[in-house]
Each structure stands twice: as C-alpha cells, then as structure tokens.
C-alpha cells in the first residue's frame, strides 16, 4: 500500500478556506493514525484567482491538479464577482476544472441521519431512512454543448445552448450508475425526458441495451418532472439515480433539502469508473461559498470533511480510513454537537473549528 499522497487543495472563496482547514485537520489525523502522509498543494481557484491572477483557473492550478492524486475543493463565488456582464466568473473555474480533468461522473449522496430528521423541513415519515445517491453526468449536455452563444438579429437578441450527448458519454455514466447500484441496494433509476427530448430517447435506449449486463440490478426509467415529485413524496424508495448534467444540477439541489442542511452533504467528481478502485477525482461540499457567513467561525465543515472521506475511498482506495472519518462524524452528531445550520432552536451550537476538533478527536 502506498503511503504518500499528493493532494491539490483549492480552498476558494467565502467559507471555503474555513471548512477546508477542518477537513485537512481531520485527514491529517487519519494520516497519523493509519500511517499515511498527505502532501497538501494549495492553489488559487475561483474568485480569489480572478483577484490575484486575472483568471478563475490559472494554468498552474490546473497543472497541479493533474499531477496530484486527487483534488479537494472548498467553494467558489461571491457577490464581488457576480456582475452578469463580467468577462469571467469564479464558476468558470469550476467548469474548466470539470472539463479539463475529465470529471464526467458526479456522485452526490444524500443520507438522512436519524438524529437530524427533526432539523429537516419534512415530516419524519417522509425523510426517515432516506439513503440515495444521484449520479450526475458532469461534462456534457447543456453546460458544454456547442453552439452556445448570444447574438443580435434585426428582430432582437437571440441565444442558443445545445443539449448533445454521444452514446459513449451516456454509456460511461450509466455504467457508473449500474456499478454503484450493484454495491448498494441494487436499484437504478435512470432519469430522462424521453417523451420530449431526442437526447433523452438515446439515453433511455442505451440504458435498456446495457441492462442485461447487470441482471442483479433493477432498472427503472423515470421522467425528470416525475422524479422531482418522487424526491419529496417518497424519497426513501430511491437508491441510485443517474441523469444528465442539467437535470442532475436541479435534482441534487432539491434532494439536498431532504438532509436538513447543505452543510452535511459531500460530493465526488470522478474521471474513471468505480470498478478500478481508485479513480482520479475532485471532492467538494455541495454547498456554496456562503459569503455572508465567511470569517465568523460559523460554517458547518461536515460536508467538506465527508468529501475528504469520499476522496479516501474513491481516489486513494483507503476504505477503512474513509469509514473511520464517517464514523467519527456520526459519533460527534450522536453526542449532540451541532453547528448553527443543524442546531435545534434554543440549543447552543459549536463553531467551524470546534466541529473540526471534535471530529478529529474521534479518529
């Protein structure tokens, strides 16, 4: 087993650096305990990179990521860089990384922990037992399809985005979905809009063609509007949901609400399949940079800490270490510690640093 790992760290903007510090605190503790050395390579990305280098994704940042075993990311963006007329945005850095690193498979798990059921906006009967993963295609569809432009005509301005997928792109993301389902409750929900979109009809055909290769996995097809409804009606029925880029963007924000706070949810973006055991990947909390919370030791670092666990599992192949992190987080929550976003009214909460210390203390 290898013991030295190079990790690119892109803390980004807003609360990004604060939650990242805590994730690294926890991972260094894992390193001590299990005998690994993590070399952290800090680089600028997002708004901070625009300020310092005039671009959200400097070449050196991309190069460092490519040379590393994995990438940890905090959050990017903020009102300072929000002008819709701006030439470049922090988010462009994120999209450039996804494309530049070939991160086509985005895994967004949503697990409702029993002790947090009451901090969600849902009745306990709806969210109890929810344990699903959305597998979102991340380098195709509307985000990257060409043509993509805006222009003037004699009758006013027009704009176009393109929703395009090749069968290879569809097959590799569906494969991740099937494999993940196989390692879990063996149910795959493929989400599309095949009643309207040609790209969705291809998607559904490819899914049907692949199904015989995974006889142990139950495949169901669901239209995206119906899936949006299912997610808040009977979310516990869902196991693995696989879908194209834009649908996945929307459905994962919706799904995140089931868990009570975005501050709890990690994500992985992988460039290889799951079967390899160790795929290059980028790991980030699903929440944003929360500029109004920045610098106050308030933010919940658990999403970033759990993203670190996903990194241990999917990019470094360190399953026992990943579980140790997840167990430590559970232990801290079971002991009743809460950051502001998940605290019950009237109870006291802990800060970002304290939460990081508590989790690291249980590794």
Looking at the annotation, which residues are catalytic? 143, 193, 225, 249, 253
249 binds Mg ion (CB under 5 A): yes
338-360: b or e for each residue (b if 16 or more CB lie within 10 Å)? bbbbbbeeeeebbbbebbbbbbb
Strand pairing category for 240-243 and 131-137: parallel
Q: Verify cis geometry, omega within 30 degrees of 0, for the bond prior to 326.
A: no
**Minimum distance from residue 246 beta carbon to ligand IPM (Å):** 8
Closest separation between CB of residue 95 and ligand IPM, Å?
6
CA distance 207 to 49: 40
Q: Is 101 helix (H, G, I), strand (E, B) or coil?
A: coil
Q: Which does 91 bind (CB under 5 to 8 A by kind): Mg ion, ligand IPM, none?
A: ligand IPM
Helix (H) or strand (E) holding 151: strand 145-153
Pure H helices in 35-140: 47-53, 59-67, 90-100, 124-127
Nearest-CB residue for ligand IPM = 91
Q: Does 237 bind Mg ion (CB under 5 A)?
A: no
User: Which lies closer to ligand IPM via its Cβ, residue 211 or residue 257?
Assistant: 257
Q: What is the DSSP string of 228-297?
A: HHHHHHSGGG-SEEEE-HHHHHHHHHHHHGGGS-GGG-EEEEESS-STTS---EEEEESS---GGGTTTT
C-beta of 27 vs 255, nearer to Mg ion: 255
Determine the Cα–Cα distance for residues 134 and 107; give it in Å rounded to an integer.
6
Whether 306 and 321 have beta carbons less than 8 Å apart is answered as: no
| Spatial contact of 208 and 217, defined as CB atoms under 8 Å apart | no
Asked if residue 91 binds Mg ion (CB under 5 A), the reply is: no
Report the distance separating Cα 264 and Cα 250, nearest Å. Answer: 18
Q: Which stretch binds Mg ion (CB under 5 A): 59-67, 80-88, 100-108, 247-255?
A: 247-255
Q: Out of Mg ion, ligand IPM, none, which partner does residue 254 contact, by CB within 5 to 8 A per kind?
A: none
Quote the least distance from Cβ 269 to ligand IPM, whole Å. 9
Which one, 94 or 290, has the nearer CB to ligand IPM?
94
Shorter beta-carbon distance to Mg ion: residue 13 or 69: 13
Residue among 94 and 130 whose Cβ is closer to ligand IPM: 94
Positions in the binding site for ligand IPM (CB under 6 A): 91, 94-95, 249
User: What does the binding site for Mg ion look like in residue numbers (CB under 5 A)?
Assistant: 249
């Amino acid at each position: 087993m290898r013991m030295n790992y190079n990790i690119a760290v892109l803390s980004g903007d807003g609360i990004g650096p604060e939650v990242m510090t805590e994730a690294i605190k926890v991972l260094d503790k894992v390193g001590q305990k299990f005998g690994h050395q993590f070399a952290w390579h800090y680089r600028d990305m997002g708004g901070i990179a625009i300020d310092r280098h005039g671009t959200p994704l400097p070449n050196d940042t991309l190069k460092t990521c490519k040379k590393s075993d994995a990438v940890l990311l905090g959050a990017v963006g903020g009102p300072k860089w929000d002008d819709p007329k701006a030439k470049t945005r922090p988010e462009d850095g994120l999209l450039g990384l996804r494309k530049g690193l070939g991160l086509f498979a985005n895994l967004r798990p949503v697990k409702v922990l029993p002790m947090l059921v009451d901090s969600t906006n849902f009745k306990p009967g709806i969210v109890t037992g929810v344990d699903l993963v959305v597998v979102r295609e991340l380098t195709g569809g509307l985000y990257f399809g060409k043509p993509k432009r805006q222009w003037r005509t004699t009758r006013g301005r027009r704009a176009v985005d393109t929703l395009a997928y090749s069968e290879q792109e569809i097959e590799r993301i569906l494969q991740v979905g099937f494999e993940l389902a196989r390692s879990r409750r063996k149910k795959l929900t493929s989400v599309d809009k095949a009643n309207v979109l040609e790209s969705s009809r291809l998607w559904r055909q490819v899914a049907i063609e692949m199904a015989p290769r995974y006889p142990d996995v139950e495949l169901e097809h669901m239209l995206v509007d119906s899936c949006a409804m299912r997610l808040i009606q009977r979310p516990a029925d869902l196991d693995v949901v696989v879908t194209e880029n834009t649908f996945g963007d929307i459905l994962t924000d919706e799904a995140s609400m089931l868990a009570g706070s975005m501050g709890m949810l990690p994500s992985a973006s992988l460039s290889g399949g799951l079967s390899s055991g160790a795929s290059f990947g980028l790991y980030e909390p699903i929440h944003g940079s929360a500029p109004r919370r920045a610098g106050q030791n308030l933010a919940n670092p658990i999403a970033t800490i759990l993203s670190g666990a996903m990194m241990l599992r999917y990019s470094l192949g360190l399953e026992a270490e990943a579980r140790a992190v997840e167990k430590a987080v559970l232990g801290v929550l079971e002991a009743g510690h809460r950051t502001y976003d998940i605290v019950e009214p009237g109870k006291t909460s802990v800060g970002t640093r304290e939460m990081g210390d508590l989790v690291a203390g249980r590794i």
